[in-house]
Structure 1
Amino acid sequence: MPEPTLAVASLDLDAYLARIGYRGELAATREVLGALHAAHVYSIPFENLDVLLGRPIRIDLASVQAKLVRARRGGYCFEHNTLFVAALRQLGFKVTTLIARVRFQRTDTGPRSHMLSLIELPEGPFIADVGFGGPGLTQPLRLAEGDGHARAHDVVGLRREGSSWVLASRAGEASQDLYVFTLEENFPIDYEVANHYTSTHPDSLFVNNLIVALASPEGRVTLRNRELGVLRGGSFDRVALRDDALIDVLKERFGLELPAGTRLSCAGLDR
């Protein structure tokens, strides 16, 4: 029986590689996986602008390519990881797509609403995630408890919790859980259901807030509603923006161009 996975034959791999500025080797190796992962997260921003503009979020590969590659926009987890997984599979990587419950900045039990992936390599299994709009992976992480990956400003690592895995981030002495997941394979229809919730439900984080983020080797820039945060060298600076500065900041900081006069509206911005 054929495996119900993301269609990859229609991916324009050359266009995707140009979008992320990758010019290295194209082999299914640990080194290439890490280089592609970093190039993606440093090039394509996380953003939920279309949700706030009342546009449907399409997560089929053709729609994701049109938006993130050809239109040079960003997206959120389903869009980013659909594109990344398609590229990996076209290069010959063995990938299993997973789904997680987000714990970051939550105290309650949230829905399974975040996409990530598991990649089998000769060195062992690794998790990859190019679409988390906060602290998270800039490199794939070996699926092993306590195996931390240091970045410029924090450390990410995994721990077991019963039959689940928890990805956590630590900056200094402070630790926070990012999300929890199992290794059960998920399929496009599972992400369609989750995407419907995240893009339309009145209680969804992405319906109620403007969230944009872009990582770099030095840190991360995040826009949440009118607050611009810059994390670099272990320090976090916040700047409150005027309404008339939002469109300029989206272009200058994240490379996202919206027509003059575009109005973004959500509960977080309207307060």
Structure 2
Amino acid sequence: MFETTPFAPDELDAYFRRIGWEGDRRADAATLRGVHLAHSRAIPFENLDPLRGTVPSLAPADLIAKLVRTGRRGGYCYEHNMLLAGVLEALGLGVTLLTARVVLGAQRFEDRPRTHMALLVEVPGDPRPYLADVGFGAPGALLEPVPLTTDVEFHGAGRRHRLVHAPHRGPLRLWVLQAHEAHEAHGESGAGVWRAQYAFTVEPFERPDYEVINWHIATNPRSPFRSRAYVQRSTPGRHLLLDGPLLTETHADGTVERRELTNETEARRVLDEEFGIAVPDGTRLLP
């Protein structure tokens, strides 16, 4: 079970103000769903620290300072989910830290390393644990947590997900999170397709494991987060993604609009106005 230095009351208050959560602060499924959705829509995904050669800190105080108190920054998966884990634990929920293989676009699951962080959350009195994840940088990300149950379709804030099992070597079951993609997203018509997002087991990981993975992803020259800006934000009705110079807007009905940003001034303006991000000095956004 995840254990961390508890957030102080003023830190929790600042977090809930940051995500706009005015609901209950109870250890129940409704609070888990509400906080998860509010976090997903309020704090953007971004890799600006690794892009400018800095390894993001996962220390609780630093996560509060960057993602919460500035009000104009985000982070990538380890920052988002480590922050949420601390908040959920402070609310009285049980949290197990997981790692996953991002398999979106992969031919074989085994070709991808375990570099993504997700959470397994236990709600008192609920026999089902929940998969929670506010740090997956893709349009197929969860906006609300889903029970760890196979072959059931879950609808959350306009997105459709399900969990399935896949064969693999090892004593633990391999879980795969799938997201439903409308064919309109690919310029086609039809009922859409289920696409695997990431695969994981429920083996618990600890904070030192993520310190190593975080350092690797932030410093390895082959890491995509070192070579180009990758920023996303989910709002009601649309998902925004900046991948290098390409800005993609995906609407709830699956329609997609794309345009290429041409200069640094335009890129900074888009991050400011569309993503709510203040770009640190010295950051070069476009190749």
TM-score calculated relative to the size of structure 2: 0.87
Match of 1:45 in 2: 44
Match of residue 179 from structure 1: 198
The answer to whether the aligner puts 1:257 opposite 2:278 as a matched pair is: yes
Match of 2:116 among 94, 114, 117: 114
Structure 2: distance between partners of 1:152 and 1:25: 19
1:211 corresponds to: 230
2:53/2:226 contact within 8 Å kept = no
Cα displacement (A) at 1:97: 1.1
For 1:138 and 1:4, the matched residues in 2 are separated by 22
Q: Does 1:164 align with 2:164?
A: no
SS of the residue corresponding to residue 168 of structure 1 reads: strand
Residues matched between the structures, number: 264
User: Which of 113, 127, 131 matches 1:127?
Assistant: 131
Instruction: Write the deviation string for residues 56-89 of structure 1: whole angstroms up to 9, x where unpaired.
Output: 2111111111110112210000000011110100
**Do structure 1's residue 136 and structure 2's residue 141 form an aligned pair?**
yes
Counterpart of 1:5 in structure 2 is 3
Amino acid in the other structure paired with 2:75: G
Q: Structure 1 residues 25 and 165, CA, compared in 2 at 3 Å: closer, same or farther?
A: same
Can you list the C-alpha shifts for 1:21-55, whole angstroms capped at 9, x where unaligned?
Answer: 10001101111100000000000000001111122
Report runs of 4+ in structure 1 exceeding 3 Å deviation: 105-108, 151-154
The yes-or-no answer on 1:224 pairing with 2:243 is yes
Distance 2:61 2:114 in 1: 24
CA RMSD of aligned residues (A): 1.8
**What is the CA–CA distance in structure 2 between the aligned matches of 1:143 and 1:263, rounded to whole Å?**
40
5+ residue gaps, structure 1: none
Question: Is the deviation greater in 101-110 or in 238-247?
Answer: 101-110
Deviation of 1:111 after TM superposition, in Å, equals 1.6
Deviation larger for 194-203 or 100-109: 100-109
Structure 1 Cα separation of the partners of residues 55 and 278 of structure 2: 19
3-state SS of 2:180 partner? strand
Shift in alpha-carbon separation, 1:151–1:35, aligned structure 2, 3 A: closer
* Whole-angstrom distance in 1 between the partners of 2:112 and 2:5: 29
| Mapped contact 2:53–2:219 kept (Cα < 8 A) | no
Q: Does 1:97 align with 2:97?
A: yes
Structure 2 residue 254 is the aligned partner of structure 1 residue 234: yes
Query: How far apart in 1 are the matches of 2:237 and 2:209?
Result: 35
SS of 2:68's partner is helix
**Aligned equivalents of 1:189, 1:49: Cα separation in 2:** 23
* Matching residue's letter, 1:144: T
Look up the SS of the partner of 2:81 in the other structure: helix
In the superposition, the TM-score normalised over structure 1's length comes to: 0.92
CA distance in 2, matches of 1:222, 1:153: 17
Partner in structure 1 of residue 185 of structure 2: none
Indicate if the aligned counterparts of 1:152 and 1:219 stay in contact, CA closer than 8 A.
no
- Percent pairwise identity: 36
- Aligned residue identity for 2:116: H
CA distance in 2, matches of 1:80, 1:208: 21
Structure 1 residues 4 and 154, CA, compared in 2 at 3 Å: closer, same or farther? closer
- Structure 1 residue identity aligned to 2:266: A
Q: Which runs of 5+ in 2 are unaligned?
A: 168-172, 183-191
